[in-house]
Structure 1
Amino acid sequence: MTSAEPTDTAPSSDASYEASRVRSDAAWEKIRTDPSGLRMLTGDRPTGALHIGHYFGSLRNRVRLQDAGVETWLIVADYQVITDREVLGDIRGSVRELITDYLAAGIDPEKSTIFTHSAVPALNQLLLPFLSLVTQPELERNPTVKAELAAAGKSAMGGLMLTYPVHQAADILFCHGNLVPVGRDQLPHIEQTRVVARRFNERYAGGEQYFPMPDALLSEAPTILGLDGSQKMSKSLGNTVMLRMSPEETAKKIKKAKTDADRQITFDPENRPEVANLLTIAAQSTGRSPEEIAEEIGDKGAGTLKVMTAEVLNEHLAPLRERRAELEKDPGYLFSVLRAGNERANAVADETLAHVREVMGMVY
């Protein structure tokens, strides 16, 4: 049994966070000692190639978990692109870019399953019985959905956005995922998934623990700000360093990064967020602390900081970029990896849906 039972809502209170933290700490301990039985589900919306915010914030950690022996499932959430967009754009190209970044970063298709939403019908069919387990008010008060709606600049919520947390529950539960790496802001989705799993087990499975109660895997992954001082990197704002950029393009981007007029370099995220951001990037690239790097630069100013950050970032990303260049030469291989992942995901989803129909009395 987990350390705390979920409520019938998707809370984001301090008490809920502490309960999630306790379960997360237990999961980290199991990863260190015996990761058998752990199945991680995570992924991204295919909106283009990834940047260093994605890499330092999540992708690098996924590779570490994969290599530690955690069974890894990566969803390319192509259906989620249309939750807040009216135009798909080059969705096939975006999927290709995403897979290229995954493999270049170290995701191993022999150890991990990469698949797309749209290619797994049984996964999406689970949305129907799962929707019977939640109420409209529960969906409407999910804080992450509200944040996504605001970020998209929309005032009216579409049906797909409203049911986004339940679709995520289907993503996690179809493969019996029991571990989901998230930040604190995503905890309401995990709580909603736990509610869906528990209610399904109680209402339809006669108390059988068919679906697991997934745990959030919380980490101290750094938040990388946009180079213009924005709260996050965004390709549309042009404030990113893309993984696919050349060393020259990277140096040019870093050189234009926003800083301040104080020549004494200090690590002060609250009062000097832009300078702290560059120090964080340098620290993540070298394994050193940002405070140590700040002390080394001292009063040499932001120009020296930018040069150092570009140099160590380029050095850190060099192996990834070399692999990426090789992968780009063979798009056929990239899509073969996806087809193999889709085949495995379909086999698992079909088995799950068959069991769901059986316990619901819908096998004729």
Structure 2
Amino acid sequence: MNDLVLTGDRPTGPLHLGHYFGSLANRVRLQERFPMYVLIADYQVITDRDVPGEIRRHTTELLLDYLAVGIDPAKVTIFQHSAIPELNQLLLPFLSLVSVAELRRNPTVKDEIAHSSQSAVSGLMFTYPVHQAADILFCKGTLVPVGRDQLPHVEVTRLVARRFNERYGEVFPLPEALLGEQPLLRGLDGGKMSKSRGNAIPLSATEDETAALIRRAVTDPDRVITYDEERRPGVAGLLTLAGLCLGRSPGELAEEIGDGGAATLKRVTTEAVNEFLRPIRKRRAELGAGDVRRILAEGNARARERAVRTLEEVRVAMGF
């Protein structure tokens, strides 16, 4: 069986530079090597929150970000979770293959429960790993790009596939986690760059918005700029961000800025980020609502066709 990649995001807000350097750039590379399905996981938004928010707008913005960074709908299938009902039909037999104790032990679920914004933990939270297993197995994905914190979800998918094959006959491949060299990109407060923490630079930000965000970045009073992740996380974060945008090392940039202080560091970072985002902004501006609707409709149709075939295989294997 040829390899196939499954990846995606939840539409909970704008994608940012952390997403770009952590996963999006890698997807653009992978689409040249493998068939790929890119999931907009809109149903999974309600996993850890009481209301989904502006999910339609966020879905549109997410797709615009994908296209702007170079994900090519002629090479990959971009689809929306809620448009593929067969995914949820696969969830039921898959849930029968996993025990409650196994779901409770999942470390990623524990962490997501700890950071949930829900007033009470929903049953959907515990089934989240099996939901993801359906996302991966419906298209018979074999490679799943993840960070180390998502490895337990891939293990649940492998468990579901193995138990289904043992019980009903060979239907599913055992997917492999594809661990990338994902850099930790610090946010503008020195912590991990994150949508929920409000410390990120969105890919859709204008030049002026980007400059304003970087001006507010947390640094320190030491005028001499040095790269020290432990003692100077804010300064190190800006140096890393500028270095990634310029293709240079943060240490080299620190030496170049020298005693220019935080003002020079922020100016260099702003110029680097705006220059890096310029072609992405241009491509984004050239896209329209009609492009988004057409691309999503075509991707949903292809994904659903695949899901219908897989669900039929499952029904036949199970004797329905």
> What SS does the corresponding residue of 2:182 show, helix, strand or coil?
coil
Count of residue correspondences? 320
Q: What residue number does 2:8 align with?
A: 43
Residue 124 to residue 159, structure 1, CA distance change in 2 (3 Å): same
> What SS does the corresponding residue of 2:14 show, helix, strand or coil?
coil
Q: What residue number does 1:149 align with?
A: 113
Which of 282, 292, 297 matches 1:334? Answer: 292
> What SS does the corresponding residue of 1:126 show, helix, strand or coil?
helix
Report which stretch shifted further, 141-150 or 225-234. 225-234
Report which stretch shifted further, 188-197 or 81-90. 81-90
CA distance in 1, matches of 2:192, 2:244: 18
Listed one character per residue, the Cα deviations across residues 25-75 of structure 1 (whole Å, up to 9, x for unaligned) are xxxxxxxxxxx92211111111122111111111111111113x2211100
TM-score (norm: length of structure 1):
0.85
- Percent same amino acid at aligned positions? 62
1:152-301, aligned counterparts within 5 Å?
Answer: 152-154=116-118, 156-205=120-169, 208=170, 210-234=171-195, 236-301=196-261
TM-score (norm: length of structure 2):
0.96
CA distance in 1, matches of 2:225, 2:181: 24
> What SS does the corresponding residue of 1:217 show, helix, strand or coil?
strand
Q: What residue number does 1:96 align with?
A: 60
Which of 67, 73, 76 matches 1:112? Answer: 76
Q: What residue number does 2:316 align with?
A: 358
Q: What residue number does 1:25 align with?
A: none
Instruction: Give the ranges of 4+ consecutive aligned residues of structure 1 lying more than 6 Å apart after TM superposition.
Output: none
Report which stretch shifted further, 53-62 or 341-350. 53-62
Which of 257, 264, 284 matches 1:324? Answer: 284
Do the aligned residues in 2 keep the contact of 1:265 with 1:275 (CA within 8 Å)? yes
Do the aligned residues in 2 keep the contact of 1:227 with 1:233 (CA within 8 Å)? no
Deviation, 1:264, is: 2.2
Deviation, 1:229, is: 2.6
Query: Which letter does structure 2 place at the counterpart of 1:218?
Result: L
Do the aligned residues in 2 keep the contact of 1:149 with 1:155 (CA within 8 Å)? no
CA distance in 1, matches of 2:84, 2:118: 29
Query: What root-mean-square deviation, in Å, do the aligned CA atoms of Structure 1 and Structure 2 show?
Result: 1.4
Listed one character per residue, the Cα deviations across residues 211-250 of structure 1 (whole Å, up to 9, x for unaligned) are 111111111211222212333322x543221111111111
Do the aligned residues in 2 keep the contact of 1:117 with 1:124 (CA within 8 Å)? no
CA distance in 2, matches of 1:231, 1:142: 23
CA distance in 2, matches of 1:211, 1:57: 29
> What SS does the corresponding residue of 1:186 show, helix, strand or coil?
helix
CA distance in 1, matches of 2:306, 2:174: 18
Deviation, 1:196, is: 0.8
Report which stretch shifted further, 100-109 or 86-95. 86-95
CA distance in 2, matches of 1:168, 1:312: 37
Unaligned runs of 5+ in 1: 1-35
Query: Which letter does structure 1 place at the counterpart of 2:158?
Result: R
